[in-house]
Homo-oligomer: A and B are copies of this chain.
């Protein structure tokens, strides 16, 4: 049987997101991001379309590599102004029953003790629908504002990440035993103190002696997402992630990412087939092939090349303002810049890609492919992408809020359902039930459930 296709919505608590300049489109409403109604409408739309989850990206800084200034990001509306993603979750959860929430939280930026409680609280309030996209942070501008001269070196960030996860896993998985909370009005015992354990964590970066403040939530550890593609990031994902996000302009690049992720999962002793991988994509569709193509042309007119370059510069660390727009790969001196541009050629290997081409490419939907056409044409492409890259579904960016998502729900979902390649109802239960097919807790083989807390410490405290 052909594999089912999964949809995830890629969003951010800002105007625009992965389609720089598209906020200028007359029908775009993404500037309404400060209005709760904007998110309520989106949540209801996505649940109607049986989306797995809405994934809320975040950065804790400004894109300031381009021209060594934040001026372009501000002027062109490149992911700034930008609000906290976590606050959107209770709001959208309040008007939905099944939709999951993947929230990006960079773990160098909040202490694990407070963060663990924040996520436990959201898992309680969403009744088990919270996921966490583990990010180690990639903008120097964020690190500086948190009092660090610059962010930690790449590998040290992953060391810190490993310890951070150890702390939150201890809090989520080991501090409170199942059944510790009795709520027994007759005996007057709310919690059995013998079944609540201080975690006694003393590490290189963190010291957390005490108990978790939250009682166990439906999933305990939130459903775990990861998006890294560096070797160390891959190993990290292989060890921890239940789902991963990848983005690349062509199938070859994406298949490479997927293969590496699954290999890293196997290396970590976990079932590589159990890792869900979502590939980033933008779908442009409509009532007909013609309408879809008109929309594509219309959207393309609203791409802001300079905004796209500010985004690309932030992602790669290369200041693309120093290159002519018609520079090809041979012209680019930095390795990161060449590698950034080279990845685009996989979308169309016959072409000599210029900086302008790359900017226009990411101008619609970011680094993922743009799949344009009537529902049947797009469905063909989705099936092809899924079957030839090994991904499990798509992390769908939008061009125009919420038109892009509405078109997917109205046209693509029914077409895929007709083909038997899309769910016709939600799986009951937590996000983990829905995505991993089992739950609500992590498998016993996952490192989260294998952390150990000192038992003598627990006894002493009583």
CB pair B34 A207 closer than 8 Å: no
Q: Is A83 an interface residue (CB 8 A)?
A: yes
Bound complex: CA A196 to CA B77 (Å):
13
CB pair B209 A83 closer than 8 Å: no
CB pair B70 A461 closer than 8 Å: yes
CB pair A82 B213 closer than 8 Å: yes
Option from B76, B125, B191 in Cβ contact (under 8 Å) with A36 = B125
Instruction: Report B-chain residues with C-beta under 8 Å of the C-beta of A462.
Output: 69, 71
Bound complex: CA A88 to CA B89 (Å):
10
CB pair B83 A86 closer than 8 Å: no
Option from B62, B210, B217 in Cβ contact (under 8 Å) with A62 = B210
Known: A124-B34, A190-B77, A304-B188. A147 touches B71 (CB 8 A): no
Q: Chain B: which residue is nearest A213 at the CB level? A: B82
Known: A84-B121, A188-B21. A114 touches B193 (CB 8 A): no
CB pair B91 A125 closer than 8 Å: yes
CB pair B94 A36 closer than 8 Å: yes
Known: A113-B145, A125-B91, A185-B23. A75 touches B211 (CB 8 A): no
CB pair B93 A190 closer than 8 Å: no
CB pair A209 B93 closer than 8 Å: no
Q: Is A314 an interface residue (CB 8 A)?
A: no
Q: Chain B: which residue is nearest A21 at the CB level? A: B188
Q: Produce 1/0 per residue, A88-118, CB < 8 A to B.
A: 1111011100000000000001110110011
Q: Chain B: which residue is nearest A198 at the CB level? A: B70
Bound complex: CA A40 to CA B84 (Å):
22
Q: Produce 1/0 per residue, A182-211, CB < 8 A to B.
A: 010100111111001000000000111111
Q: Chain B: which residue is nearest A180 at the CB level? A: B74
Within 8 A of B (CB), among A46-63: 60-62
Q: Is A24 an interface residue (CB 8 A)?
A: yes
Bound complex: CA A74 to CA B176 (Å):
11
Bound complex: CA A217 to CA B81 (Å):
11
Q: How far is the CB of A432 from chain B (nearest CB, A)?
A: 18
CB pair A23 B190 closer than 8 Å: yes
Instruction: Report B-chain residues with C-beta under 8 Å of the C-beta of A430.
Output: none
Q: Produce 1/0 per residue, A120-164, CB < 8 A to B.
A: 111011010000000000000100111100000000000000000
Most B-side CB within 10 Å, residue of A26, A94, A176, A206 = A94
Instruction: Report B-chain residues with C-beta under 8 Å of the C-beta of A15.
Output: 183, 190
CB pair B91 A193 closer than 8 Å: no
Q: Chain B: which residue is nearest A85 at the CB level? A: B121
Instruction: Report B-chain residues with C-beta under 8 Å of the C-beta of A342.
Output: none
11 A-B pairs within 8 Å (CB atoms) are namely: A36-B125, A69-B462, A81-B214, A82-B117, A82-B214, A83-B124, A83-B214, A84-B117, A84-B121, A87-B118, A94-B94
